[in-house]
A and B are shown apart, each in its own frame.
Chain A
């Protein structure tokens, strides 16, 4: 008799007994101690949840009147994330409405052991916001600004709100957020969970550090308010916690008066010099915004910007002369000379010219420039990023290191990029650390040895309509991340399919401590369970 069996309905005794792998466990290795040196025996591309008990769970949700959408059309929208390499389909989708609704959802999920994957803007790159079965909770349903306090300079908003929508509301009061990812559809909640880096992070820190207090629904369904003073332990875990210890439903953030910014660009032909200058500016608090964006590794752009004329004047007086970069015209001459001597590299020169023609005007669009100053930087940058760097797939492995290791990390990562892609962009930025938030940084993108500043570099291949296999991207990412293991760095994007690196960079002791905390907080391991552990 022929056998039909599926993971759900086994109609035959299998000869091979395969014990289920509990989330978070690292298996022993019967192969050999030296096999896959340093790589932990951990499945990083999660198995699709088998759907056991789904119908009971659906019935439980119905009795507590939580609306659940099932079916291919409702779920198919969430098939992948911005990375576009991991595909998964939830069994059902819940659109977030309130903390109370999320609490009911989590209580039912905990009781029926149904995994819940939370998604904000879906801008993860490693499948962290992709549900491999179970429920997908779409936070974009909770996107209201609740209260703006122009006196105290704070805002309270629901966590599913996108930063640019928040910026729009704040502008009505002539306010602005401190720092946020340069990306139109990243949500506040998602950002606080992972960090959030802006071109002013070298001065103001990451977005997660501007949160004053949060309303969190814990994995067991309690609605809890937390801050540095109230439930500080939960606050420490939820901030930069990669969604492991609760769902952020509301957040109070620090804000500031709105200012347009005055941009300056300097051009370098050496990554090393550009990074040295960037770090010099950051150390001396010489600018309000600073970052590096490359066109190629021999055409590096250091951007510097200011909120006020005084700061700009002080920079011009004290620091500008110390920068070793060229202006646009000087650099054009320099490059012309470079390629005149190397005519066989004419394709590179053409690419540079083409990028200059396409990208530069994007940062000077008249509708965002007034009196030489840029307004709405988040829109300008996000637009440019998606139009000229992004594509259907955002594959952006990164390295985050302490200031002194940074140059080496970028140079080594750059060598990897060269091997895998013809064209790519590097984006480097500093992140000011808050000494009082040291506990927040544990097991996060902030490397343990960073003091004062951490530095991050994203390595972004220009996909340009090309179609690559997930495999090709994976080996590229592995090659970059291996540099991080070697150098004792950390990563911004270490979750999802890259989680195999977490134990390699942080060590088992720290990860197991966090895993124990996770198990206490989330006994059924349902909340974003495939992301970190």
Chain B
């Protein structure tokens, strides 16, 4: 059995960030990855400028191989059923359009950690002063003994399931799927990520250009039919925006997503010597960008382990106190008071709204309200209102609600 300081489950960006902090501090760190590296990852790849800066500061300039074509994205365009469109540029210029297969591989290599790929996490036992991690490598069971474990294995996290078996039943699940189309004609600006606030299209509808093709993506409650939802969106784009696309290629893809925890401040940070980070912990920026908060929360989980050792404090306590800043930043993005009065996002929504005529502003607000009503069934409203009230009173969000 291999005995190390820290085992990180998942070879994502969150894992790379955590590994970077741990390796720098001289801790022996192993990263376990289920697939063979470099591995494919479903993602829009549109990283926020904050995330770009983090990558640059910690891993160096991005090599060209880690980017799709177009290599950058200038901002986000919101589209509304009333046919008002609002383009918004990111603060600080364009952002990278990451090719997750290679960007994640690059980051994990730059972190300096030892990586065991094709090794799937199978369970853990927290023994108090160490954790036994069970995994399978080519079907063969392997074991690791680590002082701490970081779960950075995405929304359907096996580490979370190992620590909180009931968690997956407690939150609503969504499915996002994307199809790739050859373009006949597409008037949508290739410099922007396009998002539709349209209750008829689904909970999460987007489109952007990638490597000469157009991505049409849909998000919906688990259980709905991907093909049908997608067809509705493709038809809508054709009818209303003049987007003519070939039938989708056969490389469509989808995955389960945990929208919600960051809206209502219901993160899951682990237990005992097991820390959970990135999207597994529930971090997701508005417009579904999870990479920048995965990078930052991942780094904080690594930092917390180092700090806990040096201060001789429980690692959970350290992590939870340190992660508060990232929770504030991420949940602020969903906080209606913050959106109205502050600038929690990396693009200026209020400014873009004020650039519209009075009539259009009213239309946009009406359409947004209708879109939000779509989420009514999850009963998040009261929890979000409570979080919004807490923010100015406590200077942050309550730690009591975290798992």
Interface-lining segment among B144-152, B162-170, B176-184, B319-327:
B319-327
Please determine whether A36 and B53 come into contact, CB atoms closer than 8 angstroms. yes
Please determine whether B52 and A43 come into contact, CB atoms closer than 8 angstroms. no
| A63: Cβ under 8 A from any B Cβ | no
Q: Which secondary structure dominates chain A's binding surface? A: loop
Please determine whether A21 and B60 come into contact, CB atoms closer than 8 angstroms. yes
| A469: Cβ under 8 A from any B Cβ | yes
Residue ID in chain A nearest B325 by CB atoms: A472
Identify which of residues 75-123 in chain B touch chain A, using a CB-to-CB cut-off of 8 Å.
92-96, 102, 105-106, 109-110, 112-119
Number of interface residues of A (CB under 8 A): 56
Residue ID in chain B nearest A132 by CB atoms: B24
Separation in Å of the B37 CB from the closest CB of chain A? 7
Please determine whether A32 and B112 come into contact, CB atoms closer than 8 angstroms. no
Please determine whether A16 and B23 come into contact, CB atoms closer than 8 angstroms. no
Please determine whether B63 and A4 come into contact, CB atoms closer than 8 angstroms. no
Q: Which secondary structure dominates chain B's binding surface? A: helix
| A50: Cβ under 8 A from any B Cβ | yes
Please determine whether A16 and B109 come into contact, CB atoms closer than 8 angstroms. yes
The size bracket of the interface on B is 35 or more
Kindly list chain B residues whose C-beta atoms are within 8 Å of the C-beta of A3: 36-37, 115-118
Separation in Å of the A417 CB from the closest CB of chain B? 15
A515 vs B321: C-alpha distance when bound (angstroms): 40
Report which of A27, A37, A86, A468 forms a contact with B92, defined as CB distance below 8 A: A37
Please determine whether B112 and A7 come into contact, CB atoms closer than 8 angstroms. yes
Kindly list chain A residues whose C-beta atoms are within 8 Å of the C-beta of B318: 467
Separation in Å of the A38 CB from the closest CB of chain B? 9
Please determine whether B112 and A18 come into contact, CB atoms closer than 8 angstroms. no
Report which of A5, A21, A470 forms a contact with B115, defined as CB distance below 8 A: A5
**Given A2-B117, A18-B63, A29-B61, does the pair A36, B25 have CB atoms closer than 8 Å?**
no
Separation in Å of the B205 CB from the closest CB of chain A? 26
| A384: Cβ under 8 A from any B Cβ | no
Interface-lining segment among B125-133, B259-267, B296-304, B362-370:
B296-304
Separation in Å of the B19 CB from the closest CB of chain A? 11
**Given A2-B137, A31-B96, A471-B325, does the pair A42, B115 have CB atoms closer than 8 Å?**
no
Separation in Å of the A466 CB from the closest CB of chain B? 8
| A418: Cβ under 8 A from any B Cβ | no
Residue ID in chain B nearest A474 by CB atoms: B57
Separation in Å of the B316 CB from the closest CB of chain A? 12
| B341: Cβ under 8 A from any A Cβ | no
**Given A14-B109, A39-B56, A41-B56, does the pair A2, B138 have CB atoms closer than 8 Å?**
yes
A392 vs B311: C-alpha distance when bound (angstroms): 10
| A337: Cβ under 8 A from any B Cβ | no
Residue picked from B24, B95, B300, most chain A C-beta under 10 Å: B24
A28 vs B64: C-alpha distance when bound (angstroms): 10
Q: A185-199: contact bitstring with B at CB < 8 Å (1 yes, 0 no)?
A: 000000000000000
The interface of chain A, by Cβ under 8 A from chain B, is 1-7, 14-19, 21, 26-32, 34-37, 39, 41-48, 50, 72, 75, 79-80, 86-89, 132-133, 392, 422, 466-472, 497, 500
New contact pairs (8) apart from A43-B56, A132-B24, A472-B325, CB-CB < 8 Å? A2-B116, A18-B110, A30-B71, A43-B58, A45-B57, A47-B24, A471-B299, A500-B57
- For the complex of A and B, 9 pairs with smallest distance between CB atoms: A89-B26, A27-B61, A32-B72, A87-B25, A41-B61, A43-B60, A472-B325, A34-B93, A6-B114
Query: What are 6 A-B pairs at a CB distance below 8 A?
Result: A2-B118, A2-B119, A4-B116, A18-B110, A44-B56, A80-B310
